[in-house]
Copies of this chain bind each other. A is one copy, B any other.
Amino acid sequence: MMKQNKAVNENHKKKSLNPKDWELATLEVIANQGVSAVAVETIAKVLGVTKGSFYWHFTNRKDLIVAALKRWRDEDNKIIKQRVLSVSDPYKRLKTWFLLSSEPLQSHLIYATLLADRQHSYVSKVLKEVTVERLKYLQQCYQDIGYSETQAKQQSLLAYSVYVGYLHMTKTLHGQFKHDTNVEQYVKHVAGQLIHPPESLSIELSPLNSDL
């Protein structure tokens, strides 16, 4: 009954695989190489089995990916609920979100690669839904601060764009996440720019008003 799979080297006892094993391995692939890199035979090899196993647990490749993404989404929602939405003060809540966004979590990697592989309809569907969800609670934060609905919409879109952009920039520039002091300082800088009371929105300090 002993086995040597599930992760590559975990010689625990486990007689057989379950869908969760496949989904977790799939998320690992998605996080690092994207949805298009999800190949059943490859993942099977990682799990120490062959295709025969896979098609017993899932009907096809798409089924696997959809299940994996569902798992990712649920997991992500759980984290947000626990660590962000639980903060009552909206300023602190926003700052917490920004800090969380800069943490090197697999969840972020997955989101970033989903942005890439959105040519698949089942990917873009999840992506859009998750994005809308996230924008919603960000908007709520800004409304809690005192922003009007319109202002909060724009500001949350801006804040979220920064998040998405940050994900890409770190990948593009380092090829990897680097969670060092520079990142911390940058997040502070960003938060300082994007978290402030609504009154400061109308305060235009730049000479742009007179020009454009």
Contacts and interface: CB of A to CB of B under 8 A. Distances in A.
The 8 A-B residue pairs with the shortest CB-CB distance, nearest first, are: A161-B165, A116-B116, A165-B165, A164-B165, A196-B206, A154-B189, A200-B205, A196-B205
Interface in A165-212: 165-166, 168-169, 171-173, 175, 185-186, 189-197, 199-201, 204-208, 211-212
Given A91-B211, A95-B212, A118-B171, A197 B205 contact: yes
* A33, A128, A192, A211: residue with the most chain B Cβ atoms closer than 10 Å: A192
Chain A interface size, as a band, is: 35 or more
A186 B157 contact: yes
Interface in A104-142: 115-119, 124, 127-128, 131-132
Given A173-B131, A196-B205, A212-B95, A189 B119 contact: no
Contacts of A72: none
B200 A195 contact: no
A161 B162 CA distance: 5
Contacts of A193: 158, 193-194, 201
Main secondary structure of the interface of A (DSSP, over half): helix
Contacts of A116: 34, 115-118
Contact of A37 (B119, B124, B199): B119
A83 interface: no
Contacts of A166: 161, 165
Contacts of A172: 115, 118, 124, 127-128, 131
Nearest to A182: B154
A147 to B, nearest CB: 11
Interface in A1-60: 33-34, 36-37
Contacts of A206: 91, 192, 195-197
A195 B208 contact: yes
A163 interface: yes
B175 A168 contact: no
